[in-house]
Amino acid sequence: MSYPIRVRATALVIEQDSILLVEYRDEEGVHYNLPGGGVELGESVTAGVHRELMEETMLEATVGPIAFVYEYAPHLNVVDSVSDIHTLYLVFECTPIEGSRPRFPDRPDGDQSGVRWIPLAELDGIILYPNIKPHIKQFVSNRRTIELIEDHHLEPYPRQIELRELQAEEDDVLYEMIREVGEGQNGFINSLYASDREEFQARLRRNAEIAQGLNLQEGYVPQTIYWFYVQGQPVGYGKLRHHLTDRLREHGGHIGYIIRPSARGRGYGKRFLREMLTEARNRGIRDVLLTCDASNTASRKIIEANQGMLTETTEDACKYWIQLFS
């Protein structure tokens, strides 16, 4: 039998040699718990500590580092288990905010009978669940904590792989890549290919207009060009057509892309197409059509690795559809 692990956010509040506990009365008598409870969906652990403290003791406090971690594993217990939920207690040292005092809550838990400051000297005389009284006393005499590292507070690395939308003005490194790509191959037409930098800049400005649907020639559709960067260097580019014409349904589809020759054979095509599909989804395109030469085995494998479904094959071309919304 498998046991999912539940995370329990728990507060350890010690002030003037007393510990804040929640009192319960049931058919077996009186026992105490540290304030705490299960972390809710969409909630951070520290936010859970704040909420549980307020719900059970009405105390506002600053949540500090982790004092200790306790695991309740019912499948390993040799005595009767009080619960069948495998639980990890993260016990945080908490400091009351000035002016805030604990009191009995307006909506107490079932069987909750009080909120008590228990002197540490009297701790051995009460029933505390779980029975971590020795660990609490050891912590008080030798405060050693564990820092909780929260990912959303970390300094992010620069993205290793990213798409950048074409701008009307671009750096020479992109011109050099376009020259390396050449006029195109395997059905991809390099519409940015230029004999000099001036012509390249003019093509950039024209494609920036096309992305906005400005001054389109008859039969053309808005199309956004994305540069594909790996570790800050351009390795390819792609075209995302915002919708299809009858002509594009036969050849071209929604997406076309190419990897510069010096960067091929490194698996970039698969990742590039995945990023382009994300952009298509962001634009609300439900189903994406990709076409490629029937003999282009590498492109076919890349499309199929991105959930492409082959719907039509001729001697010259293949059509694949990828569903982005179910």
pLDDT score of 3 more than 80: no
Collapsed DSSP state (helix, strand, coil) of residue 50: helix
Task: Supply φ then ψ for residue 31, to 5 degrees.
Answer: -145, 170
Collapsed DSSP state (helix, strand, coil) of residue 294: coil
Average pLDDT over residues 71-97: 87
pLDDT score of 27 more than 60: yes
Q: What is the CATH number of the domain that holds 298?
A: 3.40.630.30
Between residues 306 and 158, the one the model is more confident about: 306
Average pLDDT over residues 12-32: 95
When pLDDT is cut at 50, 70 and 90, the band that residue 110 belongs to is confident
User: Which pLDDT score is estimated for 2?
Assistant: 54
Same-domain pairing of 112 and 233: no
CA 152, 156, 161, 162 dihedral sign is positive
pLDDT score of 215 more than 50: yes
Q: In this structure, are residues 254 and 244 in contact, taking their beta carbons and an 8 Å threshold?
A: yes
Average pLDDT over residues 258-277: 94
Same-domain pairing of 102 and 203: no
- Rounded CA separation 217/208 (Å): 14
Q: In this structure, are residues 275 and 306 in contact, taking their beta carbons and an 8 Å threshold?
A: no
Q: How confident is the prediction for the chain on average, in pLDDT?
A: 93
* Upstream peptide bond of 105 is cis (omega within 30 degrees of 0): no
Tell me which amino acid residue 280 is.
A
- The 8-class DSSP code of residue 218 comes to T
Same-domain pairing of 144 and 192: no
In 3D, which of 3, 10, 1, 9 has the Cα closest to residue 86? Answer: 3
In 3D, which of 265, 282, 279, 270 has the Cα closest to residue 307? Answer: 270
pLDDT score of 188 more than 60: yes
In 3D, which of 210, 232, 102, 67 has the Cα closest to residue 162? Answer: 232
Same-domain pairing of 58 and 177: no
User: Which pLDDT score is estimated for 152?
Assistant: 83
Same-domain pairing of 219 and 131: no
Same-domain pairing of 141 and 34: yes
Question: Strands 128-129 and 29-33: what pairing?
Answer: parallel
pLDDT score of 320 more than 50: yes
Same-domain pairing of 305 and 245: yes
When pLDDT is cut at 50, 70 and 90, the band that residue 75 belongs to is confident
Instruction: Please say which residue of 132, 153, 174 terminates a domain.
Output: 153
% residues pLDDT > 70 (the chain): 98
User: Which pLDDT score is estimated for 324?
Assistant: 94
Phi-psi region of 300 (alpha: psi -120 to 50; beta: other; left: phi over 0): alpha
Same-domain pairing of 18 and 146: yes
Q: Which residues contact 303 (CB under 8 A, 6 or more apart)?
A: 273, 290, 292, 320, 322
User: Which pLDDT score is estimated for 315?
Assistant: 85
% residues pLDDT > 90 (the chain): 83
Per the structure, how many domains does the chain have?
2
Same-domain pairing of 96 and 211: no
Q: In this structure, are residues 187 and 293 in contact, taking their beta carbons and an 8 Å threshold?
A: yes
Domain that residue 144 falls in: 5-153
List pLDDT tens digits, range 143-172.
Answer: 899 999 988 888 877 778 899 999 999 999
Q: In this structure, are residues 274 and 300 in contact, taking their beta carbons and an 8 Å threshold?
A: no
In 3D, which of 321, 181, 161 has the Cα closest to residue 257? Answer: 181
Same-domain pairing of 105 and 234: no
Instruction: Please say which residue of 122, 153, 184 terminates a domain.
Output: 153
Same-domain pairing of 179 and 138: no
Q: What is the CATH number of the domain that holds 62?
A: 3.90.79.10
Same-domain pairing of 143 and 166: no
Q: Classify residue 307 by burial, with Cβ atoms within 10 Å: 0-12, 13-18, 19+.
A: middle
User: Which pLDDT score is estimated for 1?
Assistant: 43
Average pLDDT over residues 286-313: 94
Instruction: Please say which residue of 153, 184, 205 terminates a domain.
Output: 153
- Rounded CA separation 311/308 (Å): 9
